[in-house]
Structure 1
């Protein structure tokens, strides 16, 4: 640790002067009508230098070294340009013409060449979306806003909570990263959502497939990487104010942000607030395990919630050195559906809950997630050194009235030093560090890195599911992109991981009968210390020529068992089941083959992305014929076990532009799983998404006065019947949905207002999402929902 601190201090204190002759770039930016455009951002990503045009459309950038550079020229309402320029021992003057923007290819786009460049960095399938895509497809959570991407779905836990699923894999097989570091909460729980403020998202890269090389354990199914893709121009001030409203649960949200940059210093902040009520479903009753539960005015009792987030960042941005600190705090409180939580859904006071649709009553969850990170980059010639440091504090409390089961006392003991309404508490401290070096060596683009993390988890409350544990992971990796010729690149990587988990013994706070007619506090979990190691690797090819892009990749990935899989021993109050861990589980490994074939011209885009992968020891929760009447209140016992699993599937993306204004898009996805061994041999995997296709037609209107980028869209989504189930799962019927969208940008000089309207589930269709948590109790998805959002920027 002392060595790490010394290295970081040297990075932060080092002043590096690059002794190469430099020159200036100046020029003028005009519209196609030869009108000067003030306020245009001119940015050189490689140098992290930028400026803005003055009121005459003129700009100047000093201290630019000799060689080739890419200028990114962007302004609201105009197409972003990527212009290649060459400095050859002299100053350069350029003239730039910008076209007004008419959007193409939906909003799964960053900016032309920049988005394409991001996709070509990896041999696996990559999708890139920006904040505009999220604004136009906003849902109750970040993952609900990303569901339109092929191969991406979510496990829904209510109106404000969801978990990512990539090609049928979720939980600890999909890693969420923010600015290069793993986001670590309590993602092992089926009812634990992401602690992410979607208003603060600039850019997201979705990596479909094994990504352990760059991110380590938990990335075997893919990565949702939330990134910052630009810094503001020098001597600029930027701000935005956003608000949105949803009719289904009367969700009202607001977010304000500002960012100020001088020549080298940066400071910014954001505050977000969200409040919503019980959400509505298109049915007047649900069946909770053969018990009929009537719903008052079709609302789900106690699914209201609130969320308050704060973000702050500041740092230094130099030509060859930058260091930025980010601080955020996410705080949320939301209710659990009152009739589907606890051990006895019949004992619910419906009238009390039905008195208000906005109150947050018990059972409920309270989550606070503090995150402090630092990103420091130093450029030394051809080398780019980066150090990422992070600390996260996640506190999650589940509250509900005391319910005894097994040998727990019928009345809550007054002398017990635990609040009587605290079912469970999870308190996690997470420390992370990542150090990498990127550089070029002839035809090689190389990256070497080290990363490590440590997490300490403490539990509380009168309920029990997992014990206290401490875990650390260390990894080293090497990545290479070798240019074989101008059209073909070889991508390869190698990684070594070591992980260790230390699980503490857990003893009941209440007594139970023991041998000899005595009573005592039974040990539910014995202490356990285990270490795991693995070598992962991948090799792939990327071929580009004219309209074609072809990618293929073969690789393996690794995931060490988590504490819940090793040592769970308690009732899951959300699933009405008793879960038992398996301390003999081996590390999970996956071998995968990915292919991407893309052809694109000005009218067509055709992209096909098949995959196949094999798990020799997939970890899953297997239902047994046993019932626990002593500690599980008679609930069925589920044991963690392992089996061989083979999976295959893919996505097909078709897009055509007609008459320069009409975009037609089709995105289809398919996943098939099969267990090859174990008690569930020849079955699939639970929560596997069925085949689905989304057909979209979007008309882009010409700009008129202050109205820019106006559009109207119709989406038709077909989802097939899911019969490939694992008992006790039930078959999910097929369904069809129609969604509408429309919006425009209003521009007044340098000020802009982005307005978006949506109608989701236009015909109030009653349907079941096979990846939804509540599907197990026959609870349908949300009914018709009108959404309106406005974002002001300046």
Structure 2
């Protein structure tokens, strides 16, 4: 009897091994009970541990080496019951079909990358969106911030098409923290014309946290966090190369990026090189108005808005069961023109093109961001120690003609108007205690030191040194099966030392120095202390309905810029002046989120309210600057304020590959002193999209998708004093994407059209809005991705 049983077990194993030797992979499709493909399901082979994630069509492919030991598959997804599939009973390992039963499990399971208590705690009570590489690639128009603008509650503050920074729920600048691979990125983000210096192709996974996150991330996490996760590690040993090229018709933008990564045992590496080159972009307008003058736009093209970029990154990783460490180096380099009509007093003859639409003239920006980071995780029994170390060198140079600033060219050796050089050192420490299955404890500290130097014939910021250190404690409790509670406290210290600056005074007629000096900024020190806390709860009413509540007392220290700036910020067309007496900005915020998810419908609705004491903002005074070409004078002020609003998103799978998406957002605020709205508040919007998937079972052409979406931006009439209102607008986008084979090589192509109707519309928070310049016109984007296994 034992011999007969052994033969019965041996035969399937022999069949299984033969299939593996032939196919060298396990592939198939993940479907719901009704037959609809399930995206982002995690499929893992045991005991080897090889894993992957299903694509939009529910398909997956796990390479298997001969030495790998395999027994069964395990499939996990947020909305479905976990399922295990014995591989010994499968007749064909390259066409496995797995049906999943609908169920809503712990929200933390949505995380697509290596999980830590830091992300799990936040996910349990706040409104969080997790984006993968496919989403970022599909919405990429040349900047990382631009890809995020497709989400409800997020907007892009841009200068042309190459410079952009994100806003979350109407908050931007130093209220949105960018956590880049564990390190808070510092890149002069206080300026509206300063873009987010991140290679848009060099991001695999992003977590967007909406609302207060100061407790775990520190000052600047007041409005939300953009958490760029660790680099992806190859699933199997070998070397892999991927090329992606993209072309945009509006400004002739050409983007090329190459990713080269590999893995051998516990070691892995990754390298990426990106180059972008774009010309002057076009707008659906023939003229614009500035300072009471109507000026022409020749051939609908904005002169001197071209740019080029070169980025590099490399990482080396070691991972074992108890220890992992990643060393990463990155370099972001950008040279971008500023529209000729945006600085000084433009004249019609200065706006005419010379025929070279890719020439980058003066005025322009030259930006660099160099970064070295190390992330180490050590397992100590069931506990875990995480250490993040980082150094950043941010170089920002603005070039302009001295004469436009009231200075004789003979007195300066170059066109460098403003040079800002910021060095930042960061160290983070977190210790996670897993007391039991129902309780997790986190202790942490964060330290940051910044030194800013300056150069150039203009003055905006003085030399300064800043130091911050914070300590926090956080806990998570799971109560029975329906409730999860988290809470914590934080203490921070902030120090600023500001150097005095004396600026020479120049004669308005001769543009020569008078021999006299004006004190723009005095020498002074400021010290700040703060205690904050947060509380969150998640209630799973049943398998489909989940409620989340988050209450936070967030904070933000005044920056050295807000305390000491005093000069012309030409990228913003204004004179900006700080106030050395500004105090700590505090927010008392609450978020309520409802989630519903079934096999065919996903719905999320979030409402938020925030009361802020001593809210810091830059407001127009209504007066003109006494400085040459200074424009209007804007002053940093501090008043109590209220923010409130909501976001709504839904996704419904109709049938036969047809899907409907809808998103809406609304934010408003009120200055409790002036009883007027705060400046630069984004317009509310509503988006409706339709996706159709086809070619699911074809061999040469497959994974096809056609999509069309329309976005309606409501008019923004709630404006601050001396701020223009913005009319409503409608933008239509469409496109098609599919995979195909060429000479035996799999390729992924995408063709899309943004602003199909060539609508003339204004972005209320764009810096060119002050000139009545509309956004980019019709833009056809084509991209091609070529993965290569070496």
Match of 1:154 in 2: 156
Aligned residue among 68, 71, 83 for 1:60: 68
Q: Are residues 1:499 and 2:494 paired? A: yes
Superposed, which structure 2 residues align to 1:163-202 within 5 Å? 163-202=165-204
- Aligned pair in 2 of structure 1 residues 512, 294: CA closer, same or farther (>3 Å)? closer
| Structure 2: distance between partners of 1:776 and 1:457 | 29
- Aligned pair in 2 of structure 1 residues 493, 28: CA closer, same or farther (>3 Å)? farther
**Conservation of the 8 A alpha-carbon contact between 1:71 and 1:82:** no
**Conservation of the 8 A alpha-carbon contact between 1:273 and 1:309:** yes
Match of 1:593 in 2: 590
Superposed, which structure 2 residues align to 1:401-412 within 5 Å? 401-403=401-403, 411-412=408-409
Aligned residue among 547, 558, 565 for 1:550: 547
| Structure 1: distance between partners of 2:130 and 2:622 | 45
Number of positions where the alignment pairs a residue of Structure 1 with one of Structure 2: 731
- Aligned pair in 2 of structure 1 residues 412, 669: CA closer, same or farther (>3 Å)? same
| Structure 2: distance between partners of 1:196 and 1:652 | 28
How far apart are 1:289 and its partner, in Å? 2.2
Match of 1:389 in 2: 389
How far apart are 1:682 and its partner, in Å? 1.6
Q: Secondary structure at the match of 2:590?
A: strand
How far apart are 1:713 and its partner, in Å? 0.6
Superposed, which structure 2 residues align to 1:41-56 within 5 Å? 50=50
Aligned residue among 275, 280, 283 for 1:281: 283
Match of 1:18 in 2: none
Superposed, which structure 2 residues align to 1:665-704 within 5 Å? 665-677=661-673, 681-703=674-696, 704=698
Superposed, which structure 2 residues align to 1:515-594 within 5 Å? 519-544=515-540, 545-594=542-591
Q: Secondary structure at the match of 2:201?
A: helix
Task: Report Cα offsets for 1:230-264 as digits up to 9, x if no partner.
Answer: 42234232221100000000000000111111112
**Conservation of the 8 A alpha-carbon contact between 1:36 and 1:56:** no
| Structure 1: distance between partners of 2:348 and 2:504 | 26
Indicate the larger mover: 386-395 or 228-237.
228-237
Match of 1:763 in 2: 757
**Conservation of the 8 A alpha-carbon contact between 1:168 and 1:689:** yes
Match of 2:57 in 1: none
| Structure 2: distance between partners of 1:70 and 1:611 | 41
- TM-score normalized with structure 1 length: 0.86
**Conservation of the 8 A alpha-carbon contact between 1:239 and 1:258:** yes
Task: Report Cα offsets for 1:172-218 as digits up to 9, x if no partner.
Answer: 10011111111111111111101111111101100000111121111
| Structure 2: distance between partners of 1:791 and 1:432 | 36
Indicate the larger mover: 727-736 or 742-751.
742-751
Match of 1:455 in 2: 450
How far apart are 1:584 and its partner, in Å? 0.5
| Structure 2: distance between partners of 1:29 and 1:283 | 68
Task: Report Cα offsets for 1:650-709 as digits up to 9, x if no partner.
Answer: 1111221111411011100000111111xxx12111111122100001011142123232
**Conservation of the 8 A alpha-carbon contact between 1:28 and 1:58:** no
**Conservation of the 8 A alpha-carbon contact between 1:51 and 1:234:** no
Q: Secondary structure at the match of 1:200?
A: coil
Aligned residue among 2, 24, 27 for 1:38: 24
Superposed, which structure 2 residues align to 1:723-738 within 5 Å? 723-738=717-732
Match of 1:609 in 2: 606
Indicate the larger mover: 283-292 or 224-233.
224-233
Task: Report Cα offsets for 1:55-82 as digits up to 9, x if no partner.
Answer: 88877359x9xxxx995799xxxx9999
How far apart are 1:752 and its partner, in Å? 3.4
| Structure 2: distance between partners of 1:452 and 1:82 | 42
Match of 1:12 in 2: none
Superposed, which structure 2 residues align to 1:699-710 within 5 Å? 699-703=692-696, 704-710=698-704
| Structure 1: distance between partners of 2:390 and 2:46 | 25
Aligned residue among 707, 713, 719 for 2:707: 713
- TM-score normalized with structure 2 length: 0.86
- Aligned pair in 2 of structure 1 residues 463, 598: CA closer, same or farther (>3 Å)? same
Superposed, which structure 2 residues align to 1:179-258 within 5 Å? 179-228=181-230, 230-258=232-260
**Conservation of the 8 A alpha-carbon contact between 1:29 and 1:57:** no
- Aligned pair in 2 of structure 1 residues 487, 57: CA closer, same or farther (>3 Å)? farther
Match of 2:362 in 1: 362
Task: Report Cα offsets for 1:103-151 as digits up to 9, x if no partner.
Answer: xxxxxxx998545996773311000111101222221211111111110
**Conservation of the 8 A alpha-carbon contact between 2:340 and 2:350:** no
| Structure 1: distance between partners of 2:476 and 2:380 | 20
Task: Supply the RMSD in Å over aligned alpha carbons.
Answer: 3.4
- Aligned pair in 2 of structure 1 residues 380, 111: CA closer, same or farther (>3 Å)? closer
How far apart are 1:578 and its partner, in Å? 2.0
Match of 2:736 in 1: 742
- Aligned pair in 2 of structure 1 residues 40, 294: CA closer, same or farther (>3 Å)? farther
| Structure 2: distance between partners of 1:81 and 1:125 | 21
**Conservation of the 8 A alpha-carbon contact between 2:21 and 2:66:** no
Task: Report Cα offsets for 1:19-43 as digits up to 9, x if no partner.
Answer: xxxxxxx99999xx99975345998
| Structure 2: distance between partners of 1:315 and 1:434 | 19
- Aligned pair in 2 of structure 1 residues 421, 749: CA closer, same or farther (>3 Å)? closer
How far apart are 1:782 and its partner, in Å? 0.5
Superposed, which structure 2 residues align to 1:621-636 within 5 Å? 621-629=618-626, 631-633=627-629, 635-636=631-632
How far apart are 1:384 and its partner, in Å? 1.3
How far apart are 1:609 and its partner, in Å? 0.6
| Structure 2: distance between partners of 1:54 and 1:717 | 38
| Structure 1: distance between partners of 2:15 and 2:497 | 61
**Conservation of the 8 A alpha-carbon contact between 1:211 and 1:220:** yes
Aligned residue among 618, 635, 639 for 1:643: 639
- Aligned pair in 2 of structure 1 residues 626, 146: CA closer, same or farther (>3 Å)? closer
| Structure 2: distance between partners of 1:448 and 1:346 | 59
Q: Secondary structure at the match of 1:564?
A: helix
Match of 2:342 in 1: 340
Aligned residue among 471, 475, 478 for 1:483: 478
| Structure 2: distance between partners of 1:447 and 1:539 | 14
- Aligned pair in 2 of structure 1 residues 736, 490: CA closer, same or farther (>3 Å)? same
Match of 2:373 in 1: 373
| Structure 2: distance between partners of 1:99 and 1:247 | 42
Q: Are residues 1:435 and 2:429 paired? A: yes
Question: Unpaired runs of 5+ in structure 2?
Answer: 1-11, 28-41, 53-60, 100-106, 509-513
Q: Secondary structure at the match of 1:775?
A: helix
How far apart are 1:748 and its partner, in Å? 8.1
**Conservation of the 8 A alpha-carbon contact between 1:29 and 1:36:** no
Match of 1:779 in 2: 773
- Aligned pair in 2 of structure 1 residues 82, 280: CA closer, same or farther (>3 Å)? farther
Aligned residue among 439, 446, 464 for 1:469: 464
Task: Report Cα offsets for 1:153-179 as digits up to 9, x if no partner.
Answer: 110111111010001100110011111
**Conservation of the 8 A alpha-carbon contact between 2:124 and 2:537:** no
| Structure 2: distance between partners of 1:172 and 1:330 | 20
| Structure 2: distance between partners of 1:97 and 1:600 | 30
- Aligned pair in 2 of structure 1 residues 702, 651: CA closer, same or farther (>3 Å)? same
| Structure 2: distance between partners of 1:170 and 1:584 | 22
- Aligned pair in 2 of structure 1 residues 80, 623: CA closer, same or farther (>3 Å)? closer
Q: Are residues 1:445 and 2:453 paired? A: no
| Structure 2: distance between partners of 1:99 and 1:483 | 36
